[in-house]
Amino acid sequence: MIEPTIQHVHPADEASLAQAITLLKSGELVAFPTETVYGLGADARNGQAVAKIFAAKGRPSFNPLIVHFAEAESAAREVFFDGRAERLAAAYWPGPLTLVLPRRGASAISPLCSAGLDSLAVRVPGHPIGQRLLRDSGLALAAPSANASGRISPTSAYHVAQSLGSRVPLILDGGPAQVGLESSVVDLTSSKARLLRPGGIAVESIESVIGPLVGPQSSEGALENGEALLAPGLMASHYAPDLPVRLRATSVSATEALLAFGPEPLAGAALTINLSPSGNLTEAAARLFEALYALDQHDFAAIAAMPIPDHGLGQAINDRLTRAAAPRIAAQTDSEVLE
Ligand code: TXA
Ligand code: MG
């Protein structure tokens, strides 16, 4: 028997790629693999199609979307690239880097993608299936991570089906996402380059190309200061499993599930998943969301997470874990929007 939760999942072969393009061109949603996480794609120039993304995710409408392109030249027709943007695009595209740039006045990308801002987030993804879809369709695809708002990002087609199921007519299965963490988001709309979200490219690597970054801005700080949120998606509680998450665990109880790291995992947990027994941060990033999905079972009291070094991709991993452990106020707001 086919489980209802895996309906609409199809291997990304020629036939399903053709079907995906037909669906996208008629304003429907298609979930597709990128090298970071799976995206929930819509034709970015079709406002009604983009609106379906917000509806399917239950995403607050103030949260803008990343628009994906086959190559940098297509992105440059919609936004203004400066020297910093050109150097970063040359260094890391296709790849896990998103640039927030000023929109061109003549851009036909739906203003919903910018959620009222005069900037647009653009990215050229590296996954061969995502690339094929963009190239063969000729479309720009608005695509947030293909999970219900506030929940863990999907690194497999199965995660997408679990989270969004029947709300997506087609989920292209291209295997597990290699990077496993969302793209790094860099805001270049002012003279000070700002890291809005640590992600698949280490901060140090970005700084080696354009010099020091400011940020990331904490959402609590912004709200306290009464500033507008620069990256509204950075609400404190995001990437939330159902279970509470306990950070920097130095011991674990028999009722807890353990997210371990390194050669000496804590003993005594009900279930342990080691992100990287050898202590490799790239391997740990690739496994993070998969592990959180697997540990998030109702028979446990909590997920205990061992400390992760805060350099390189460790910074992005710790950012996601901190959000997973944050009080669930923002996530509750999201589910209200969902209903
Ligand atoms: O790896 C990724 O980036 C994945 C794959 C599918 O490409 N996409 C993704 O999208 O993570 P999403 O929508 O879940 O996260 C986009 C982030 C949010 O934090 C959003 O607030 C921020 O980028 N963002 C998008 N457009 C922005 C803009 N114009 N200004 C500031 N922040 C923006
Ligand atoms: Mg997301």
Mean local confidence (pLDDT), 295-308? 95
CA of 40 to the centre of ligand 1 (A): 12
Nearest bound ligand to CA 38?
Answer: 1
Is the pLDDT at 7 greater than 90? The verdict is: no
Where is pLDDT greater, at 286 or 338? 286
Contact 12, 174 (CB under 8 A): yes
Rounded Cα gap, residues 330 and 105, in angstroms = 33
| pLDDT value at residue 287 | 84
CA of 68 to the centre of ligand 1 (A): 11
Q: What is the mean pLDDT of the chain?
A: 87
**What percent of the chain is predicted at pLDDT more than 70?**
87
**What percent of the chain is predicted at pLDDT more than 90?**
67
Phi, psi of 196 (to 5 degrees): -85, -30
| pLDDT value at residue 6 | 65
Probe residue for ligand 1, chosen from 29, 40, 54, 66 as the CB with the greatest number of ligand atoms within 8 Å? 66
In the chain the beta strands, taken as DSSP E runs, fall at 9-11, 30-33, 38-43, 66-68, 97-102, 119-123, 141-142, 170-173, 184-187, 194-197, 245-246, 256-260, 271-274, 302-305
Q: Which of 183, 187, 184 is nearest to 101 (CA)?
A: 187
Tokens of 35: 């090298």
**How many other C-beta atoms lie within 10 A of the C-beta of residue 65?**
27
| pLDDT value at residue 237 | 56
Is the pLDDT at 326 greater than 60? The verdict is: yes
Contact 106, 119 (CB under 8 A): no
| Closest-lying ligand 1 atom to the alpha carbon of residue 197 | 19
Mean local confidence (pLDDT), 111-131? 91
